[in-house]
């Protein structure tokens, strides 16, 4: 008898716990060359904005011994093209779709959520909070609990009640649990911890070659073997354990 791989994320039930992270599967067509997208638990789209974006000029990728430096710049087709072309393609191939959204203002996030609320086949919405806030001198939404919470609240208020909301956080904060708590309180069912760690390369011990934009990302793999604990995982578990039980359950 085959193993039951079903996974539940809040109200969302998936056939298995494998999700293609935002950007890793493109619009789905790229991944479909190698695997049936219907067999993946869910496809998380590249972060979609209101208008099309070409992203940063090349070079914007660089390999490192620990992963990949990237400064893509949120390249994407915009919400209109996504709803007309990419989402129907994914659904026609049996994929479950989590739509990642990004914005420069709280209002833009809310407007994107409203568009998705009327779209059929959206399994969940991921809020990419690692975006510069145009109304706060370009400071990332994810850096402040109140600001992150206001984005989640705007999305939750504009989105159909039965579509779950995931908040994608940034590790570049002094208290990530406070940000996660604000997001869950504001209406996010799940707070996601990204693998990208900004500007972690030591200034003096490595030789640097500039890539476009001052803010780049270092993507590193996370492998956690059962029973083994790293300092980062231990610190996060300690912080989570300090929350009230009802907050941890949320």
Domain containing residue 12: CATH number:
3.20.20.70
- Determine, yes or no, domain membership for 211: no
- The tokens describing 70, both together, are 């990237």
Burial of residue 73 (number of CB atoms within 10 Å: 0-12, 13-18, 19+)? middle
Instruction: Give the pTM.
Output: 0.75
Q: Read out DSSP for 147-176?
A: HHHHHHHHHHHHS-TTS-EEEE--S-SS-H
Q: What domain count does the chain have?
A: 1
- Determine, yes or no, domain membership for 154: yes
- Determine, yes or no, domain membership for 102: yes
Catalytic residue among 19, 124, 131, 179: 131
Does residue 24 carry a catalytic annotation?
A: no
Helix axis angle for 176-186 and 231-241, nearest 10°, is 50
- Determine, yes or no, domain membership for 230: no
Eight-state DSSP code of residue 179: H
CA-wise closest residue to 109 among 169, 155, 165: 155
- Determine, yes or no, domain membership for 213: no
- Domain of residue 124 covers 7-60+74-196
Instruction: For residue 88, give the 3-state DSSP assignment.
Output: helix
Instruction: For residue 107, give the 3-state DSSP assignment.
Output: helix
- Determine, yes or no, domain membership for 78: yes
Could you list the pLDDT tens digit for every one of the 250 residues in the chain? 778 888 888 788 999 988 998 888 888 998 999 999 999 999 999 999 999 998 888 888 888 777 777 788 888 899 999 999 999 999 999 999 999 999 999 999 999 999 999 999 999 999 999 888 888 878 889 989 999 999 999 999 999 999 999 999 887 787 888 888 899 888 877 666 544 433 443 444 333 444 445 445 555 444 444 555 555 556 666 766 776 665 544 4
- Determine, yes or no, domain membership for 228: no
- Determine, yes or no, domain membership for 231: no
């Amino acid at each position: 008898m085959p193993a039951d791989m079903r996974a539940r994320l809040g109200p969302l039930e998936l056939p298995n716990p494998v999700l293609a992270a935002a950007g890793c599967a493109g619009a789905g067509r790229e991944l479909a060359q190698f695997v049936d997208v219907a067999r993946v638990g869910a496809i998380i789209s590249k972060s979609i904005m209101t208008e099309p974006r070409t992203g940063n000029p090349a070079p914007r990728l660089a390999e490192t011994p620990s992963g990949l430096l990237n400064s893509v710049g949120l390249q994407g087709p915009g919400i209109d093209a996504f709803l007309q072309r990419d989402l129907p393609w994914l659904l026609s191939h049996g994929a479950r779709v989590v739509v990642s959204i990004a914005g420069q203002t709280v209002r833009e996030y809310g407007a994107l959520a409203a568009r998705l609320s009327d779209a059929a086949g959206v399994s969940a919405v991921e809020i990419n909070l690692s975006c510069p806030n145009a109304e706060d001198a370009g400071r990332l939404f994810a850096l402040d609990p109140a600001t992150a919470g206001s984005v989640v609240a705007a999305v939750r208020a504009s989105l159909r009640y039965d579509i779950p909301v995931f908040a994608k956080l940034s590790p570049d904060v002094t208290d990530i649990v406070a940000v996660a708590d604000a997001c869950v309180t504001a209406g996010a069912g799940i707070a996601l911890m990204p693998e990208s760690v900004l500007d972690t390369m030591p200034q003096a011990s490595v030789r640097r070659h500039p890539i476009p934009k001052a803010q780049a990302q270092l993507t590193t793999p996370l492998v956690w073997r059962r029973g083994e604990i790293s300092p980062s995982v231990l610190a996060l578990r300690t912080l989570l354990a300090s929350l009230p039980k009802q907050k941890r359950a949320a």
